[in-house]
């Protein structure tokens, strides 16, 4: 799952570099807000991917916080599918992608939550001091 987030970051690097090079000239206040928010969101994808790869629980929680931003910017982990020629091959290819990408993201969320306890290392409880004493 971390690989999908890394792939999403690399797919959106052009957007980030363009906004850094062009600046905010000619953008409305909402445009500036959206640009800054999207760049920070793409940066947070790196943290999410890194901590997920390291199997830390914080990666899961970063991902949970990112969900509204993923919906707002329509930047899902499976957005790379839109680079495939599905729109050209099928008559309703755009509609297929509009349904398929969020459905796969929902499946990812369901799968991750279902296997949340199995995919992260468990901490062993520390022995109580009274159990360590000999009788």
61-96 pLDDT, tens digit per residue, is 888 899 899 888 888 888 878 878 887 888 888 888
CA nearest to 42, candidates 10, 4, 67: 10
For residue 4, give both structure tokens. 């999908």
- Which tens digits make up the pLDDT trace of 21-60? 777 777 788 888 888 888 899 999 898 888 888 878 888 8
State the distance between the two ends of the chain, measured CA to CA, in whole angstroms: 50
Q: Report the alpha-carbon distance of residue 13 to residue 41 in Å, rounded.
A: 12
Inter-axis angle of helices 57-73 and 93-114, to 10 degrees? 160
Q: Are 48 and 69 in contact, with CB atoms under 8 Å apart?
A: no
119: confidence class by pLDDT, cuts 50, 70, 90 = low
């Amino acid at each position: 799952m971390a690989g999908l987030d890394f792939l999403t970051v690399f797919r959106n690097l052009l957007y980030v570099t363009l906004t850094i090079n062009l600046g905010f000239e000619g953008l409305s206040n909402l445009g500036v807000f959206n640009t800054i928010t999207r760049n920070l969101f793409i940066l947070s994808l790196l943290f999410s991917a890194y901590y997920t790869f390291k199997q830390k629980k914080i990666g899961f929680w970063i991902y949970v916080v990112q969900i509204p931003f993923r919906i707002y910017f329509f930047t899902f982990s499976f957005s790379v599918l839109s680079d495939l020629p599905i729109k050209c091959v099928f008559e309703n290819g755009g509609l297929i992608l509009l349904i398929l990408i969020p459905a796969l993201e929902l499946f990812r969320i369901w799968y991750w939550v279902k296997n949340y306890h199995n995919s992260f290392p468990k901490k062993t409880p520390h022995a109580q001091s009274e159990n360590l004493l000999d009788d």
